[in-house]
A and B are shown apart, each in its own frame.
Chain A
Amino acid sequence: MQKLKYERPYIKKLNTGMLNKFASANPAQAFDAIEGIPVKKLIEQYGSPLFVLSEKRIRHNYRAALRAFNTRYPKVQFAWSYKTNYLSTVCQIFHEEGSWAEVVSGFEYQKAVKNGVNGSHIIFNGPGKKREELLAAIENNSLIHIDHFDELYMLMELAASSSTKPRVAVRVNMDTGLYPQWDRFGFNYENGEAWNAISKIVQNNKMQLIGLHCHIGTYILDVAAYTKATTKMCGLAMRCAKDLNNPIEYLDMGGGFPSNNVLKGVHLQSADSIPSVDDFAEAITTTILNFGFEKDKLPLLILETGRALIDDAGYLLGTVIANKRLANGRRGTVLDFGVNTLFTSFWYDHQITPAQGTSTHTEPMTLYGPLCMNIDVIRENINLPVLDPGDHVVVHKAGAYNMTQWMQFITYRPAIVMIAESGETHLLRKAETLDYVDEMEQTPELTKSKAVEK
């Protein structure tokens, strides 16, 4: 006789009179396959935990975002924000779709070059560019986005002895009604610093000021903030043309569009309250189109969209290690991945679903990672069906910032696979090993002699 599927016995107190009037997806619903490939099979083949990316979803997101903009505005260019996910295959998919590269360090710059991106299609942002990195960027004709006056002076010096005129843009920060205001990157608009920097570059005449850049924040839910930012950027561009006779070729509005993840601490946030890329596109493009540029002098619009293009193309698969009962009677479940692997659990209440068929009984629980650290909490409070050791779970929308911000801390970083459009699965990054982690370490003689003394 076939035995029945076992489930831990469980009772849940019913709170009459406090029924939740907000309907939500059944948390007990199993999510057992990604694009037709069983979660169980993926874990058997590649181990647990495991990041899984969908090529189809990445391309779909990119094309939808591009369409949102280029059906409204004639000159649009996306630049893939490397820090969001700089796996070579991911970057190459975006480049294949037509994206330029947006990088914020020498390391990311080198990655973009290695990925075959034409130097003139690399946008070099960030406050920490080194002298030799700037030199390489000048030589490659890259777009250098200046962050502060010290960088500006260094560039002037480098430009003076360079045969190529650096192509630069000024990063502008401003009040867009968002709180807190991001004022630590670039030059401030309201206090006149941005204009001051712009004037200095044009007067210096050793560089070509071809763009203006801003990145007003991330996971922005307020479309109006972009309208304000675009208005200020257009105003600066117009002044550059009129007062300095230096027309601006492009406006780079940075990233910042939200993904449909749930931000921590936002009570009962639903997918409906998150504006779509179309909403942002409408706000940005109508502002530029109505600003009064001559038809043939509309600036190129650059976007450095990150998380909105890849968050929902990534999953983290994991396995239940243990269950425990906390002092207050609550259920605690220990998973085999922690905040070292799922860095974004610091920001998001990630949607997490069981990967196998279960009953419809759910219980409130806290999900912990395997680290021996108090901060290692994946979800403080989530309703999930009874989970047993060995069961698998799926974390949704984990494609942005995890595969770059993850830490080699206490455990190895897991493998990453991609499900190709063809349906095949490809390993993009192997799981780490002791040899990998130890590779950079040196063991000088000093401990050896002591060990002998014992």
Chain B
Amino acid sequence: MKLKKNIATSESGFIFNPSTGDSFSANGIAAGILAEMKSDKTEQEIKTGILARYDVRPEQLDRDWDDWMVQLKEANLLDN
């Protein structure tokens, strides 16, 4: 679940993939997750952080995490 090395992200949620030229916009929580993924935090660390800060049940977050991975894969942003 590692992000590709060369993906550029900004705090405001702008994402750019230089190898494909694609750009994306992320909502607030997604921008935060991307930053943490870039700094090599583990899935568990990221989730724990979200659960502490956001009003969400762990089961809901687990489901959304799976969906998040699908989104990143489809967007071609993950290292296989």
Contacts and interface: CB of A to CB of B under 8 A. Distances in A.
Contacts of A12: 24-26
B23 A10 contact: no
A6 B24 contact: no
A426 B60 CA distance: 36
Contacts of A386: 27
A11 B24 contact: yes
Question: Which size class do A's interface residues fall under?
Answer: 20 to 34
Chain B facing A: main interface SS: helix
B53 A3 contact: yes
B60 A7 contact: no
Interface size on B, as a range, is 20 to 34
Contacts of A10: 26-27, 30, 71
A14 B23 contact: yes
B25 A361 contact: yes
A389 B59 CA distance: 12
A329 interface: yes
B64 interface: yes
Contact of B28 (A323, A329, A359): A359
A9 B60 contact: no
A3 B54 contact: yes
A11 B26 contact: yes
Nearest to A5: B55
Interface centre among A10, A11, A12 (most CB of B within 10 A): A11
Contacts of A389: 60
A388 B27 CA distance: 14
A359 B56 CA distance: 16
B22 A9 contact: no
Contact of A6 (B25, B26, B55): B55
A9 B26 contact: yes
Nearest to A361: B27
Nearest to B16: A14
A13 B68 contact: no
Interface string A381-415: 00000101100000000000000000000000000
B15 interface: yes
Interface string A1-43: 0011111111111101000000000000000000000000000
Interface in A314-371: 323, 325, 329, 359, 361
B54 A9 contact: no
18 contacts: A3-B54, A5-B55, A7-B27, A8-B29, A8-B67, A8-B68, A9-B30, A9-B33, A11-B15, A11-B24, A11-B26, A11-B27, A11-B72, A12-B25, A13-B75, A16-B23, A325-B67, A359-B27
3 smallest CB-CB distances across A and B, nearest first, come from A9-B30, A6-B56, A361-B27
